[in-house]
Every structure is written in C-alpha cells, then in structure tokens.
C-alpha cells in the first residue's frame, strides 16, 4: 500500500506521513445532543480529561466540535459554538502534545479556534457553506479536511458523485491558496447517503485514491451500524471495528473515532496485515 506520492502533511508539531500507518482522530463532542451519546455540553473538565486520555491511548489528532452533525440537528449560533469549544481548545492546547482540530463549517468559529490553539480545520461541507475556510487555512498554513456532503440533495450513483464533489472541493481549496499537501478528503459516511450507499462507500473506498489525497473516514457508532446490527449507539463498538478494518484494507489513511483505545488496536492489526507494519503495544 504505497501512498508516498500523496506527500507529507504537517499538523502543528506532528507529521502525517501517509501510507506508513493509519492515523487516528479522536472525537470530542462539546454538545448536549450528539448522535453517539457522548455529548459533553459545557463540561470543560470532562472534555479535557477525555482529550488527555485520548492522547495516552494513541490519538494522533483530537477533533473538537460544538455543533451536533446528526441528521435534523438544530444549528447553533456562532456565539454558542464558540462558548462550547474555545475553553476546551485553550486547555487542551496547553495540556496535551497532540494537535487539535476544530470541527466546524463556520469561518468565525474556525478563526477563533486556530487563534486558541487548534491547528486543523474539519469542514463537513467541503467549502460549500463558506469558502473563506480555505482562505483561513491558507493564511495559517494548516490542513483542512474536506467532506462530501449530500444532505442538500439526492444522488443515484454515489461513488462518482463523492469523487466529483471532493475533486471540486480540493480544487477550490488549492485555488484559494491551500497547499496540496494540506488537503485531506472525507467521503462523508452518514451525510445524506442511504444505508446501501454508506456500505458501498466503504466497500469501494479504494476508488477515492484517484484523487491522490489522503482519505479520512468516520464510521464510528454511526447509524449504518445500528441499522445493520439493530443496536443503539453505545453498543456499536464491534460494528465500528469491522467498518474500520475494511476501510483500512480499502485505503483509508486516517480514521475518526470515539473509542480510541480499542480502535487503535484495530488499526494496528490492520496495518500489520495491509502495510506489513508490526508494532508492539506499549501503553
């Protein structure tokens, strides 16, 4: 699985050398209404403790979000989102060595988050909501994750649509000054896709390699697992593990997960098989 042509992405003091191993993004939802049942609301201390635990368990980056992205969730104001995420980012930037990502599609939130210590932007709309996020990423020299989101329409043939939408997002980002190495793509599992389409994305994930960009995938605890296994969000660990292992076999470069310790082991085992990379667990 040679991905060296994709380049190296620098994120704060860290380097993502794509193809060498699967990188791990730990999720912290500073919201009261997360789909996954892990929303922490305004509980800064618990969020900071979770970030510290993720760093020990093997997270390579920690993604902090202040607005639920579950289907039909109510949007929150810029001010409300800032009140949720900034205190957590400020604390974690001082107290953990792991780089921080801000999960937002709002330019104002991203700007304040980067000023407070975040070093990556994760945009679920792939610049379709506000292209100024690319300008901000270019100005600060930080990576940006660009997602393919179909929530504002329908799509009959999902893989060509995902590839086309991600190609547009990457092209726009580069046109607005983001370096090629600082663009990362996400097919957007769960965002406006049917169950069958979500499963197809995982099964055909290798087709995204035509973009020559690192691929991040987020299946953790999502509804496709609940639909297949008929389980609530807090019982989807094994289903998540299956989706991650297959995604890594199909070329995923980074996984976005809620359960870092267990899923880090899934990543290491998958890497040993797919990349010939054996690493003993020391934690």
Q: Compute the distance between CA of residue 240 and CA of residue 238 in angstroms, rounded to an integer.
A: 5
Q: How many CB atoms lie within 10 A of CB 261?
A: 16
pTM metric for this prediction: 0.93
Q: Taken in order 46, 52, 57, 59, is the CA torsion positive or negative?
A: positive
Residues of the chain where predicted confidence (pLDDT) is lower than 70: 1-4, 33-41, 278-283
Provide the pLDDT for residue 36. 46
Question: Which residues fall within 8 angstroms of residue 193, CB to CB, at 6 or more apart?
Answer: 150, 155, 158, 201
Q: Quick one: which of 198, 250, 247, 248 has its CA closest to 222?
A: 198
Q: Which residues are catalytic?
A: 222, 256
At 225 the three-state DSSP class reads: helix
Burial of 74 (0-12, 13-18, 19+ CB in 10 A): exposed
Q: For residue range 85-108, list pLDDT tens digits in order.
A: 999 999 999 999 999 999 999 999
What the chain holds in terms of domains, given with CATH numbers, is: 23-274 (3.20.20.20)
């Amino acid at each position: 699985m040679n991905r060296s042509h994709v380049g190296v992405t620098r994120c704060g003091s860290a380097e993502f050398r794509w193809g060498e191993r699967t990188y791990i993004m730990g999720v912290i939802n500073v919201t009261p209404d997360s789909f996954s049942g892990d929303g922490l609301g305004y509980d800064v201390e618990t969020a900071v403790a979770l970030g510290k635990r993720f760093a020990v368990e093997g997270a390579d980056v920690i993604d902090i979000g202040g607005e639920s992205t579950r289907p039909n969730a109510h949007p929150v104001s810029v001010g409300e989102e800032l009140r949720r995420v900034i205190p957590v980012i400020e604390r974690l930037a001082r107290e953990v060595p792991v780089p921080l990502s801000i999960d937002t599609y709002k330019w104002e939130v991203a700007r304040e988050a980067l000023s407070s210590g975040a070093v990556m932007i994760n945009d679920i709309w792939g610049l379709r909501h506000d292209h100024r996020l690319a300008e901000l990423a270019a100005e600060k020299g930080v990576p940006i994750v660009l997602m393919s989101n179909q929530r504002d329409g329908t799509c009959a043939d999902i893989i060509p649509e995902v590839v086309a939408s991600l190609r547009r997002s990457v092209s726009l980002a580069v046109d607005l000054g983001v370096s090629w190495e600082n663009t990362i793509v996400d097919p957007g599992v769960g965002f406006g896709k049917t169950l069958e389409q979500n499963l197809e994305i995982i099964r055909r994930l290798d087709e995204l390699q035509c973009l020559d960009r690192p691929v991040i995938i987020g299946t953790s605890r999502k509804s496709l697992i609940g639909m297949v296994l008929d389980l609530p969000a807090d019982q989807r660990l094994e289903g998540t593990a299956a989706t991650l292992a297959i995604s890594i076999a199909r070329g995923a470069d980074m996984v976005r997960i809620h359960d870092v310790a267990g899923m880090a082991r899934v990543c290491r085992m998958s890497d040993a098989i797919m990349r010939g990379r054996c690493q003993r667990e020391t934690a």
